[in-house]
Amino acid sequence: MAANPDTAQRILDIAERLVQTRGFNGFSYADIAQAMEVTKASLHYHFRSKAELGKRLIERYEKNFLAALGRIEEQTDDARERLRRYAGIYASVVKDNRMCLCGMLAAESGTLPEEMRDDMRHFFDENERWLVGVLKEGKRAKTLTFKGTPSDAARALVGSLEGAMMIARSYGDPARFTAVSDRLLADLGA
């Protein structure tokens, strides 16, 4: 019997929401099984282990995030607008009372399997790589300003947005995220 891809996607959808709201260590297969009204054994048919499920979650999340960045690139050449739209991705997650999947995993990194930590770091590396390109272009066009290297600025931006998400969520106040995001972008000239 072949695995039903729709079932696997539904498992991933539920697990993603659980990670983004509770953390990876805050849910079990029993939570997913209950939400789907199936047995835990049927989940193991699609994902042998929770670590395998986590790895697939990160891979899918990164793929979707990179696709969103690709759409931003297709829609505008303006570095300032690209940064605003990048921050908008984070803002939409906060408004849904969630955290960035990899940001939530980063908080638990010491307890995650190594292969998940590697994939999580790859997500952040890809974010920084994309931002470095945007920042370089903005500096070249004299539309963005920052001190230090584009890499330093990219790391500061990712870290600040992730932290702003965490604090805004802890207060249940997406406006806190928006205020920080707007400030960060203004400091860059965006």
Confidence band (pLDDT; 50, 70, 90) for 4? low
Residue 156 has pLDDT above 80, yes or no: yes
CATH number of 49-188: 1.10.357.10
**Average pLDDT score over residue span 94-102:** 94
Q: Which two tokens stand for residue 13?
A: 């959808």
Residue 190 has pLDDT above 80, yes or no: no
Closest CA to 115 of 159, 27, 65, 50: 50
Q: Are 101 and 15 in contact (CB under 8 A)?
A: no
User: Chain-wide mean pLDDT for the chain?
Assistant: 94
**Average pLDDT score over residue span 72-98:** 96
Q: What is the pLDDT of residue 2?
A: 46
pLDDT tens digit sequence for 5-57: 689 999 999 999 999 999 999 999 999 999 999 988 889 999 999 999 999 99
Between vectors from CA 87 to CA 82 and to CA 92, what angle results, nearest 5°? 125
Residue extents of the structural domains in the chain:
49-188
Residue 65 DSSP SS3: helix
How many distinct helices (H) and strands (E) make up the chain?
9, 0
Q: What is the pLDDT of residue 118?
A: 96
Tell me the whole-structure pTM to 2 decimals: 0.92
